[in-house]
Amino acid sequence: MKQHMRTSFWVLAALILSGVAAAQHHPSQKHLKRSFCILQCDAQITANCHPHMHFHQCRGTIIRACQHRKPGFCTTTTTTTTTTTTMPSKASVKGALTSTPGRFNYNAMLGLAGANAACNTSFAGTHACTLQELQSAPTSELMGLKDTANMTVTSFWAIDPSAPDLQQCNDDVNSHLNWEYATAHTASRGEKVVLNPDGTLGGLDASGKPDATHMGLQCNFSGNAWVACCQ
């Protein structure tokens, strides 16, 4: 009986000590290094080791090389991305359409659609110039500018997408599109800018917009102006 109790005691003690040892177990440095290498070399393993083609041997070779710090294995490459902001280039004026009231009618189409189509027909790859494009264009391209009928250009309709529609000869009754207004019974008006002989734009106030004498003009009978074609 005593012998049996003594044996049970030692068995219990061994189990307790085994549990304590297990609880206090920490991964070895080798194990930690292997885990680190697996993570670091994951991309290289994926790229170089293929299933059914000695995968485990290939994987083990790469991991061991990492563990022994052999050069050329699992190096970390830092890529620096540089963002370059390209400033928009100045518009290039290629020509001008014949003068028109504020209701554009080119290529049998009304408004900007007709002007864009006519510009592309007369000067391939161009569109109707906006005010901002005219302001950025070199004066050398505007000086002495002629239209498609060989008439000298002296003013432009100020096509300005940022302006209120009612300053862009908007047909606010039917189509609700800019540069299509044909009468004078609503508040819809247009704006013009003068083209000086030296190629500079006049008729602008301090903000760069048409001044008071060139704003709020009737679209149908305030006199014609031109539409330039930009690329």
Residues 61-114 have pLDDT tens digits of 777 777 766 555 565 444 444 444 333 457 899 999 999 999 999 999 999 999
Positive or negative, the CA dihedral 71, 72, 74, 76 is: positive
**Is 83 or 186 the better-scoring residue by pLDDT?**
186
What is the reported pLDDT for 1?
Answer: 55
The winner for highest mean pLDDT among 15-24, 112-121, 204-213 is 112-121
For the whole model, what pTM was predicted?
0.62
Give me the residue label for tokens 């963002």.
83
Amino acid letter, residue 11: V
Cα-only R_g, the chain: 40
Beta strands 192-195 and 155-157, pairing class: antiparallel
Averaged pLDDT, 113-134: 98
Amino acid letter, residue 9: F
Residues in Cβ contact with 184 at an 8 Å cutoff, skipping those fewer than 6 apart: 218, 219, 220, 221
Averaged pLDDT, 183-195: 95
**pLDDT class of 60 with cuts at 50, 70, 90:** confident
